[in-house]
A and B are shown apart, each in its own frame.
Chain A
Amino acid sequence: MKVQLGNPKPINEDGLGVTYIDFPDEVGVADSIDVQDAIAQVFRGQFNLPGSEALIMIIAPNGIWKSHSLAESPSWVWSDNEKLQEQLSAIYGCPVGEQTTPEDN
């Protein structure tokens, strides 16, 4: 499962970037989530969202996004998993973008 996040402020680099994420197949995505509850859990830094492992790994305070960007939110999101794409777009309040390859970036 793949996710791409438009990265307006990459850590340790100038310019615009794209963060490419490749999840093992066994990582879970929930059919639906309570977006407000998920955001509240981000602030608490403790998660109980069974089945949402992929989402948690991205949005956690010590997770992928905070390890790759100084920006609060991605400028766009894309995923080959439509549910995860929808959840990320809702949590970060950003649009769905087009898939890119590293060569395009």
Chain B
Amino acid sequence: MAITQNGSKSLIKSLFGYNFAATAASANAALVTGSSVSGLTVTLGSAQSVAANTQVILTVSSTTYVGLCSAATTSSTTLVVDGWFTQGTTTVTSSLTGSALTVALVAQPLPAYYLGLSSATITNYGQTTESTFTELTASGLGRAKATVAVTSVSTPTGSTNTTSTITLSNTWTYTGSSAVTVNDIAVYNAPYVASRSNDTMLFCTQVASAPTVTTNGDQLVVTETISQS
């Protein structure tokens, strides 16, 4: 998910469902070749009609970036995203350059995020991928869709909004009987190509207090703050 100061209105709209009339009822994907990216603008190899909030996925220098299309286009070879999310980090960037790319365009009814918990401690968060992150799937602590919260603040001029804090959070209810320690949390985006059933991990961080859940019925709250750049 892209998060930028200048794109905050669009972002908040997309997160909170105010403008989904033009989006597809079900997810569908397209691959476009012969493209380039400069900053937040993607140049496609062929003209496409793209709905707002469509996920745009591309790889530059072996790193996969995910963004959301800021505005709908009609038969256009360019589109603009509101930022680039990178696997293995909590930072969103607007600086990206690449050429001769394959771009995946994935329409979606709603942007969705999932949080996953792990009992294992990750040693290198920047390089964590799904294969190195072992989720807790027993006792009700598996991956779950996240709640998204955004604070919007009126500027002194009253003309624009800024987005100060964006968080993803969830609460898990432990249904097991033995102790379990939660060390890491992963954030996943929605499924990103039609042929895959799993998600892509956006980043992984250590839970601040590494809580131990011990008794039946304990509820664990995890809130992840997303940074901006």
Contacts and interface: CB of A to CB of B under 8 A. Distances in A.
B165 A10 contact: yes
A60 B125 CA distance: 26
Given A48-B218, A53-B171, A53-B173, A17 B223 contact: no
Contacts of A69: 151
Contacts of A21: 147-149
Interface residues of B toward A: which range?
35 or more
B223 A57 contact: yes
Nearest to A102: B12
Report the interface size class on chain A: 35 or more
Interface in A62-105: 62-64, 67-69, 101-103, 105
B179 interface: no
Contacts of B218: 46-48
Contact of A22 (B8, B15, B170, B217): B15
Interface in B160-217: 161-162, 164-165, 167, 169-171, 173, 208-209, 217
Contacts of B8: 102
A22 B17 contact: yes
B169 A57 contact: yes
Interface string A11-38: 1111111111111101100000000000
Contacts of A13: 151, 153, 162, 164
Contact of A105 (B152, B170, B208, B222): B152
B167 A68 contact: yes
A64 B149 contact: yes
B47 to A, nearest CB: 32
A30 to B, nearest CB: 12
B221 A15 contact: no
Nearest to A1: B147
A97 to B, nearest CB: 15
Contact of A67 (B15, B112, B170, B225): B225
Given A22-B148, A62-B208, A67-B225, 16 more contacts: A13-B153, A15-B155, A19-B149, A19-B150, A19-B152, A22-B16, A22-B17, A46-B219, A47-B219, A48-B217, A57-B221, A60-B171, A67-B165, A102-B12, A102-B152, A105-B161
9 contacts: A12-B165, A13-B164, A15-B154, A15-B155, A20-B12, A22-B147, A62-B209, A64-B169, A105-B153
Interface of A: 2, 7, 10-24, 26-27, 46-50, 53-54, 56-57, 60, 62-64, 67-69, 101-103, 105
